[in-house]
Amino acid sequence: MNTPLLQVSDVHTHFAIKQDGAFFWQKPATLKAVNGVSFTLNAGETLGVVGESGCGKSTLARTIIGLVKAQSGSIKFQGEELVGLPEKAMRLKRKDIQMIFQDPLASLNPRMTVGDIIAEPLVTYYPKLKKDEVAAQVRAMMGKVGLLANQINRYPHEFSGGQCQRIGIARALILQPKLIICDEPVSALDVSIQAQVVNLLKQVQKEMGLALIFIAHDLSVVKHISDRVLVMYLGNAVELGTDKAVYGQPAHPYTQALMSAVPLPDPEAERKKVIQLLPGDLPSPINPPSGCVFRTRCPQADGGCAETKPVLRGTDRHQAACLKVGIAC
């Protein structure tokens, strides 16, 4: 059996938070942004990551790429451990792990031309490349993502949001990485432009054999692009499976509530469906509930859920972290 491109095992990313009103001698509180998440990702595969705001999706992405440090756990890329890797060695790894950010315009330097922005990774990692070689690769990449070569000397403010995101995609692709982490790359775009960007990502993934981690709030977009889906709640992985399993037969009560809110293309079915509203608010990640973190909002919770923290269990195709559900083999 082939080794997965990426193996994430029991990763914890915590932050020390100084709370308002605390005395200077009091220890900071611990915010558990990512709390024991595990999954694997194969070459050429897309993993969608979903969950409400504050569930730890973006922190997980930044932990994988090394922008924030994990307190414990293991992140192996191509079999090599990334957690604890010295910064110089981690910079070399980033040739193969790139990131596309949420705000297309804010992620681009307004003082640099589009050509310089896309060329920057090449210049950083391959300083001996000649200028005409760099320019040729930049123009070729611009064409691949749907930009015109004669736009190479323009600045980001001269482009639309969708075009700026294409620039960000070109910058991520220029080093021909093996993994791209997409942190809500279409949430700031119009619906029609979202479809264009998602289709572009699928196209370049097929051409270059990329693996993608695609983070988004829009469950319809995630379904369209993903092979497997990871559902997170309050820093924990609560469900993991193929797109057909998670969308067709959601097992965890939280996933069921999320899927009930997905719009249906059939007007009659949309009118008849029942949206499962979750009671209460999202608990604080500084002081999460004991046992199952979802139990304070779960309609199936009982006393046992407060004592035991569930872990993902089931099959390779479909797993859920819930004491009340079982997934048949």
* Confidence at residue 27, expressed as pLDDT on a 0 to 100 scale: 82
For residue 327, name the pLDDT band (cuts at 50, 70, 90): low
CA angle 96, 99, 103 (to 5 degrees): 165
pLDDT top residue among 324 and 64 = 64
Q: Is residue 194 part of a domain?
A: yes
Residue 109 in contact with residue 138, Cβ under 8 Å? Answer: no
Q: Is residue 120 part of a domain?
A: no
* Confidence at residue 329, expressed as pLDDT on a 0 to 100 scale: 41
Distance between CA atoms of 313 and 246, rounded to whole angstroms? 14
Radius of gyration from C-alpha coordinates of the chain? 21
Q: Is residue 158 part of a domain?
A: no
Distance between CA atoms of 320 and 238, rounded to whole angstroms? 6
User: Which residues lie below 8 Å from residue 276, measured CB to CB, with a gap of 6+?
Assistant: 256, 257, 260, 261
Over residues 94-110, the mean pLDDT reads 91
User: Which residues lie below 8 Å from residue 25, measured CB to CB, with a gap of 6+?
Assistant: none
Task: Name the DSSP letter for residue 284.
Answer: P
- The three-class DSSP label of residue 8 is strand
Q: Is residue 199 part of a domain?
A: yes
- Predicted model pTM: 0.92
**What is the rounded average pLDDT for all residues in the chain?**
91
Distance between CA atoms of 326 and 254, rounded to whole angstroms? 15
Q: Could you tell me the residue range of the domain that residue 67 belongs to? A: 6-96+177-320
* Confidence at residue 23, expressed as pLDDT on a 0 to 100 scale: 67
Residues 77-101: tens digit of each pLDDT:
999 999 999 999 999 999 999 999 9
Q: Is residue 127 part of a domain?
A: no
| Helix (H) or strand (E) run with residue 46 in it | strand 46-50
* Confidence at residue 1, expressed as pLDDT on a 0 to 100 scale: 53
Residue 246 in contact with residue 231, Cβ under 8 Å? Answer: yes
Q: What percent of the chain has pLDDT over 70?
A: 97
Residue 250's φ and ψ, nearest 5 degrees, are -60, 130
3-state secondary structure 52-106: CCCCCHHHHHHHHHCCCCCCEEEEEECCEECCCCCHHHHHHHCCCEEEECCCCCC
Residues 231-270: tens digit of each pLDDT:
999 999 999 999 999 999 999 999 999 998 888 777 888 8
Q: Is residue 278 part of a domain?
A: yes
Distance between CA atoms of 2 and 96, rounded to whole angstroms? 19
- The three-class DSSP label of residue 291 is coil
Over residues 165-172, the mean pLDDT reads 96
Residues 124-155: tens digit of each pLDDT:
999 999 999 999 999 999 999 999 999 999 99
* Confidence at residue 191, expressed as pLDDT on a 0 to 100 scale: 86
How many separate domains does the chain show?
A: 1
Distance between CA atoms of 238 and 245, rounded to whole angstroms? 14
- The three-class DSSP label of residue 166 is helix
Query: What is the DSSP annotation of 301-320?
Result: --GGGGT-----EE-SSEEE
| Helix (H) or strand (E) run with residue 181 in it | strand 179-183
Q: What percent of the chain has pLDDT over 90?
A: 74
Residue 90: CATH number of its domain: 3.40.50.300
Q: Is residue 329 part of a domain?
A: no
Q: Is residue 143 part of a domain?
A: no
